[in-house]
Each structure stands twice: as structure tokens, then as C-alpha cells.
Amino acid sequence: MPEICKPIIVVSRCLGFEACRYDGQMLHESLVQRLKPFVQIMTVCPEADIGLGTPRHPVRLVRHQGEVHMIQPSTGADLTADMRDYLVGQVSSWSEIDGFLLKGRSPSCGPGGVKIYHGIDKVTGTEKGADMFAAAVSQAFPHAAIEDEGRLRNFHIRETFLMRIFALARLRQLMQQPSVAAISQFHASHKLLLMCFHQDMMRQCGRIAGNSDGLDLAQLMRQYAARFRETLQRQPSQRNIINALYHGYGWASDGLTSAEKKMFVDAVEEYRDERVTLATLQLLLKSYVLRFEHAYLGSQYFLEPYPKALFDLTSSGH
Ligand code: SF4
């Protein structure tokens, strides 16, 4: 399997780095701990970074005359302008980010499900939304994978997040030293992985990588990167994943006995019924790589889209 390229991710600082929560606590997230050897991490704590101190009185988001404000109810302070200035400086200081792993439901970090109160003094209701930080980073880094620690306890959401950040990191590496041949090779080794996200967009990536329009290298890289990132924003479906599995199998199946073929097809059906994991099927494909010395199948990142050490079957199921 080719070398691992480290994704660059931004993580909420209270998720295992510093006791910076409003109550002076720190949270322990096992995924963050397990990610550490495999990614480059930058941490943020918007509340501490704008000088609120720890411990501190909680803040909340309030919709007032159509605008969302960040308010500290105990002091009545409106922190919206401070937070906006901080965000502009922070976001412009980052050039390349592959993913954000943020504290869910936080008014300062939560990418979704954050309570927005209607009214400052007299609360007339609430709605759910994203906080100012998540809104700013999703605008500045529209292709980055953005999740919160709660959602990442779900196996499928976590797997997609990991697939995305490692694929985006490999793309970044390609963009540092592109060549027409390297783009074509990069696409070839991501074919099955992209197929999981969107089959037609995978083909569009292939057409760009083939450079039938004779683009110059800079244009070619730009167009390929844009379509590759866009493809990764789609949600992988079980149907597409099964299609990718059969594609990989098709490249090696000529050498298999009928009993071995039946075993693969049965295993795919068990995967469809969620009685075996994708990892089982990926292992079967890897065994064909070894047995038939199948370099093309072996080059597919789909067989190991992120480091094995990060594979964890536990799931919140939500
Ligand atoms: S949720 Fe965000 S703002 Fe709150 S303590 Fe954690 S990092 Fe800081």
C-alpha cells in the first residue's frame, strides 16, 4: 500500500488538549487520541482565544432582529464583533485544511445542532443551527470535511470522514508536485474510492485526468482538484460501494475457482444485509492482490482508504 500522507485537521482544543471549557474541564475523545500519530493537528478554542478566560460564564447564540449574536447572559456582553474579528484573523492564517473535528452543540465550535435562542431578555423559542466558527470555516474551506465528535461516534459517519481527510491530504500532496502523468496515476489509484462517493463524478474526474482537451498543467490540476473535491463531498452509498467491490473483483475474478467466486458474491450479499463489514470484503480483494500479484487492484486506495489502526467498529448507531 502506498505511503500515508498526513491530513491537516483543526480540532476543538477542549477535546483532549486543554482544560479550556467554560467550567474548567477537558473532554477525552478516543478518536482524537487515536488520530494523533496519523494527522497534523491544529487546535482552536474560540472562547479562550478571544480572551474570555477559563473558567468563565457560558455564552449563547441569540437571534436578534434577524441577526445571530454571541451573548454572555450573565454579563450582558455582546461578543459578536470580537468573535467575528477573531474568525477573520484565524481563518485567513490557515492555507490548507483537510478537515475540522469540532465540539458538537457548542455555541462557539459546533458545526450543527447548536441552540440559537430567540430573544435576549425574554426567550421566546429556540432553533438549531451552526455556530459562527463553523459557518466561517465552511465558507473558507468548502471542501474540507467538517464533523463534530458526537456524530463521529457513528461508524459510517466516522468512516466517511476518515476516507475524506486522507484522500484530501493525498490530493494536496499531488498538487505540490503535479505532472500530467502523476495526475493520471493519482486518478487511477482512486478510481474505486471515488466510485463509492459518486459514479458519474468519478468518470468526470477520469475524463479530466485523461486531458483530452489538452489543458496546460496548471489548468489541468485545477480542474481535476475541483472535481475530485466535489466528488468527495457526496455521501458514499452502500449501492455504490458494492459496485466498487464488484469492479475490483472483476479485475481479478478470472483466476478464481467457482467456489471462490461464490464466496465473494455471498460475502457481498452479507455486506448488503449488514452481517459483515466492508473491511471483510476489502481483505478478500487484498488476498487477490497477493495471489495474482495484481498491481492495479493493489494500487487502489479503496482497499485501505485510511490507516488500519484507525479502524474501529464501535458505533453509537445514531
Ligand atoms: S467547545 Fe470550543 S469554545 Fe468551547 S471550550 Fe471547546 S474549544 Fe473552546
Residue-wise pLDDT for 248-287, tens only, equals: 999 999 999 999 999 999 999 999 999 999 999 999 999 9
Mutating to test ligand 1, I would choose from 90, 103, 148 the residue with most ligand atoms within 8 A of its C-beta, which is 103
Exposed/middle/buried for 195, CB within 10 Å: 0-12, 13-18, 19+?
Answer: buried
Q: Residue 89 is which amino acid? A: G
Q: State yes or no: pLDDT of 2 exceeds 60.
A: no
CA distance 184 to 195: 16
Average pLDDT, the chain: 94
Would you say 68 and 130 are in contact if contact means Cβ atoms under 8 Å apart? no
Integer CA distances (angstroms), 255 to 16, 137, 230, 292, in order: 49, 49, 36, 8
Contact 316, 154 (CB under 8 A): yes
pLDDT at 200 over 90: yes
Q: For ligand 1, say whether the CB of 104 is within 6 Å of any of its atoms.
A: no
Assigned C-alpha cell, 135: 459557518
Q: What is the pLDDT of residue 300?
A: 98
Q: Which three cell numbers stand for residue 275?
A: 452481517
- Scored b (16 or more CB within 10 A) or e, 235-265 reads ebeeebbbebbebbbebbeeebeeeeeeebe
Cα 13 to middle of ligand 1, angstroms? 6
Q: Is the CB of 60 under 6 A from ligand 1?
A: no
Tell me if 312 sits within 8 A of 153, measured CB to CB.
no
DSSP state of 295: H
Q: Is the Cβ atom of 101 under 6 angstroms away from ligand 1?
A: no
Nearest protein CA to atom 7 of ligand 1, as residue:
45
Q: Is the dihedral of CA 283, 285, 298, 199 positive or negative?
A: negative
pLDDT score at 113: 84
- Cβ–ligand 1 contact at 46 (below 6 Å): yes
Best residue among 14, 26, 72 to mutate for probing ligand 1's pocket (most ligand atoms within 8 Å of CB) is 14
Ligand 1 center from residue 25 Cα (angstroms): 10
pLDDT tens digits for range 129-176: 877 888 899 999 999 999 999 999 999 999 999 999 999 999 999 999
**pLDDT per residue as tens digits for the range 78-115:** 999 999 999 999 999 999 999 999 999 999 998 888 99
